Chain A
Amino acid sequence: MQEFDFASPKTLDAACQLLAQTGGRVVAGGTDVIPRLQRHMFPATTLVDISRLDALRFITTEDNEIRIGALTTYAEMLESPLLQEEAPVLLEAARTVGCPQTRYRGTLGGNIANASPAGDTLPPLLVLNAEVKLVSAAGERVLPLSEVLLGPGQTAIRPDEVLHSVAFQRLEGPYGSAFFKLGKRKGMNIAVVSVAVLMRLVADGTIAGARVAFGSVAPTAVRSKHAEAVLNGERPTAEVFERAARAALADISPISDVRSTAAYRRHASMTLLRRALETAAARAGGIL
């Protein structure tokens, strides 16, 4: 493993100070950072371990906002009655991350900071319109998730900042959501394509507040404005979903890699989106 100095601050302030002073980088659950250290591909010589900062481990709700601390693990999210009730689309994704062992260590903050195009929680967080709070010695700032994710492995998080928490508004129902992920095997699955969908059905039975996001088909997880534009105001029919799926192609730019080809990812994106829309609509209508 590559060499580094290690610090394990006990407070968030201390962590921010250390980041500023040492030019080091954060490690939390370690599920992404440590494999990179093994491959001698980690761009820092000091690691600031934030795993002791219990203040970042929480799931709360206040007013109409749900806030999840950055150190919350996938296992903790899955066990949260609040999230089961209020953010099932996020949990559908959390359930598919890695394996039980990695779900007990991997964190929501880590999934964001790692900024993999295939990060499983990212499409759900995008459709939840999540905002990210970043904290440093200089203060704090809040950014929409879409502005945090800049490219594969690249974020707007400054070197001296710690990702504090993620927040999103409670959804006013009735709404339906779905998360589908296509991988190459069932267990320990990295997404070939993933999609998250959220929608409401209003009194006249048409779609409102449609939100669509994809993973693994662009440099970052992305919203599909084109698909959303097709959906809003329309009835939830197969024909509408087909049009939305075609429209979505304008928002994605998949590549060919070791797991799949660009052409297949385009095809699978449309198929998964259609299916996710059917499921979300059925859930919105109280059918599922």
Chain B
Amino acid sequence: MNRITITLTVNGHRRTVTTEPNKTLLYLLRDDLGLHGAKDACGGEGECGACTVLMDGQPVNSCLVLAGQADGHDIVTIEGLAENGHLHPLQRSFVEAGAVQCGFCTPGAILAAKALLDRSPSPTDEEIREALSGNLCRCTGYVKMIKAIHLAAEELSHAG
């Protein structure tokens, strides 16, 4: 199996990695780039969203992107969400609303929510549920996650 070399932008930094091709972006992030926020909860089948990252601004399951396919793209992980040490309103609202229990699904859910708010700043309950429909959570029943997203949407709209 011939190794491949790829270059991609991760959280604003250009990174070049040489690795085996039979690896997904998820494990490229975790094993080669030391970014552990994205998780493998479903065996890399794209069924749980715990590996969600933003790829060119769009929420994708990083377990469904081959390392080679990520070449040249722009990736944002949960580690890249805070700016200058300031947490994103979603990160804060998830904590404040009690939406974090075990936390394993949390990074993926926050990024899916961010992608929603980027497109739809004042989402309805239904739109939030749809945006989260690819993020499984076994602890919270989603109730406080939905509340947290509404809170963050409000805060972001005030900030203008």
* Nearest A residue (CB) for B65: A30
Query: 4 more A-B contacts (CB under 8 A) besides A34-B24, A187-B129?
Result: A2-B22, A6-B4, A104-B59, A188-B133
**Is B61's CB under 8 angstroms from A102's CB?**
yes
Binding stretch for chain A, among B39-47, B77-85, B151-159: B39-47
**Is A105's CB under 8 angstroms from B23's CB?**
no
Binding stretch for chain B, among A93-101, A139-147, A153-161, A200-208: A93-101
CB neighbours (8 Å) of B129 from chain A are: 187
A218 is an interface residue with CB less than 8 A from chain B: no
Q: How far is the CA of A102 from the CA of B64 in the complex (A)?
A: 8
Contact of B21 among A5, A99, A104, A188 (CB under 8 A): A5
**Is A34's CB under 8 angstroms from B2's CB?**
no
Query: How many residues on chain A are close to B (CB under 8 Å)?
Result: 29
CB neighbours (8 Å) of A101 from chain B are: 46, 49, 52, 59-61, 64, 112, 134
**Is B44's CB under 8 angstroms from A105's CB?**
no
Size bracket, chain B contacts: 35 or more
B63 is an interface residue with CB less than 8 A from chain A: yes
Q: Mark A97-133, 1 if CB is under 8 A from B, else 0.
A: 0111110110000000000000000000000000000
**Is B66's CB under 8 angstroms from A34's CB?**
yes
Contact of B69 among A1, A51, A98, A186 (CB under 8 A): A51
**Is A100's CB under 8 angstroms from B45's CB?**
no
Could you list which residues of chain A lie within 8 angstroms of chain B, going by C-beta atoms?
Answer: 1-6, 8, 27, 29-31, 34-35, 37-38, 47, 49, 51, 75, 98-102, 104-105, 186-188
Contact of B43 among A5, A38, A187, A188 (CB under 8 A): A38
A-B residue pairs in contact (CB < 8 Å), sample of 5: A5-B21, A6-B4, A34-B44, A35-B64, A101-B64
B1 is an interface residue with CB less than 8 A from chain A: yes
B11 is an interface residue with CB less than 8 A from chain A: no
Contact of B68 among A8, A75, A186, A188 (CB under 8 A): A8
